[in-house]
Amino acid sequence: MMGSHGGMPQLPSKYLLLILTAVCVILMAITFFTDFAMTPLSNVFGFAIVPFEKGVSRIGSSMSNKAEELTEIKELLAENEQLRQRIDALTIENNTLQQEKYELNKLRELYKLDEQYSDFKKIGARVISKNPGNWFGSFVIDKGKKDGICVDMNVMAGSGLVGRVTEVGNNWSKVISIIDDNSNVSGMVLSTTDRLIVSGSLETMNNKGTVQFSQLVISPDAEAIAGDKIVTSYISDKYLPGILIGYINEIAPDANNLTYSGTITPAADFAHLEEVLVVLEQKKQIADEEEE
């Protein structure tokens, strides 16, 4: 690629700069104003780079795992003690929950409600590279079109929502995470189905490891407190309903006294994201259903 300028040594650098600037501006305008896809071009790059990235990221993660194991032994002992106490508390809670589940199952049969989450078909993928800058939270996974992944499929890690696929190549796809500063997700409080908007924020992510939420309208007879579960809402056009986003961390009324905003601790562990699950099912749009 650099050979091209070796062939024209007489061209002064300022003209070269001007030409390339013009090319850049035109391409930026094209990709911004039209939906011209650069996937074919990206695929060529992907073909060359993905194998390298797979190898290097595997070496890197095994190195950091070793280092973390050593430092974490002490923390683990203390945590073990705490967890033992929690087991007791959880066993009691579990008993009551099981009674409730029995009741719920009976009610579900009555209402013919589908089981949600467990029915989704998922595929595991490995995170092979992350955004080179420190500003945004997108990353690339090692599964693509040939594994059945399409744009806008939801990505989860453990039980929590991680983000959605925004670009698909043959053997890779790009994922924008919900903690990215550009990301907005329509969510709801699980217990009351009050809707809210979850927006990623670099600032709160750096400070406390949380994302922001806003525009929560609490219905008159309900309440929302710290610790409440937030899941994706039914009205989201990109996300499937009922996927766990996280738990309310802080909540405060806005100046208008109508809505609430605050922060949410995400359920997925974004600091150690190595393997993710891609849900091979897309939210059906009204347009899609008309076509069928």
Partner 1 sequence: MRFRTILFICISVFFSFILQTTLFKVLAFGGISPNLLLLIVALFGLMFGRKVGLMTGFFAGLFIDMFFGSSLCFYALIYMYIGYMNGFFHRLFFNDDIKLPIALIAMSDLVYCLVIYILTFLLRGRFHFGHYFLHIILPEIAYTVILSLFLCPFLIWAGNRLNQKPKGSLNID
In the chain, DSSP assigns E strands to: 122-130, 138-141, 154-157, 160-168, 173-177, 184-189, 195-199, 211-216, 229-232, 244-253, 260-266, 275-279
Tell me the C-alpha distance between 31 and 173, whole Å: 18
Shortest reach from residue 16's CB to partner 1, in Å: 6
Closest CB to partner 1 among residues 59, 225: 59
Residue 69 binds to partner 1 (criterion: CB under 8 A): no
Of residues 237-266, which lie at the interface with partner 1 (CB under 8 A)? none
> 122, 123, 126, 181: which one contacts partner 1 (CB under 8 A)?
181
Closest CB to partner 1 among residues 139, 240: 139
x/- binding map, residues 26-65, to partner 1, per CB under 8 A?
Answer: -xx-xxx-----x--xx--xx--x--xx--xx-xxx-xx-
> 75, 88, 109, 203: which one contacts partner 1 (CB under 8 A)?
203
CB-CB neighbours of 187 under 10 Å: 28
Strand partners, 251: 262
Closest CB to partner 1 among residues 169, 194: 169
Angle at 226 (CA atoms; ends 209, 190), nearest 5 degrees: 100
CA 173 vs. chain centroid, Å, equals 13
Residue 72 binds to partner 1 (criterion: CB under 8 A): no
Burial class (CB in 10 A: 0-12, 13-18, 19+), 246: buried
Residue 269 binds to partner 1 (criterion: CB under 8 A): no
Residue 215 binds to partner 1 (criterion: CB under 8 A): no
Binding residues for partner 1, rule CB under 8 A, total 52
Residue 140 binds to partner 1 (criterion: CB under 8 A): yes
Of residues 159-178, which lie at the interface with partner 1 (CB under 8 A)? 174
Dihedral, CA of residue 136, residue 127, residue 172 and residue 41, to nearest 10: 40
Closest CB to partner 1 among residues 36, 102: 36
Tell me the C-alpha distance between 209 and 201, whole Å: 10
**In this chain, which stretch among 9-17, 190-198, 242-250, 275-283 interacts with partner 1, using CB under 8 A?**
9-17
Closest CB to partner 1 among residues 136, 260: 136
Are 154 and 177 in contact, with CB atoms under 8 Å apart? no
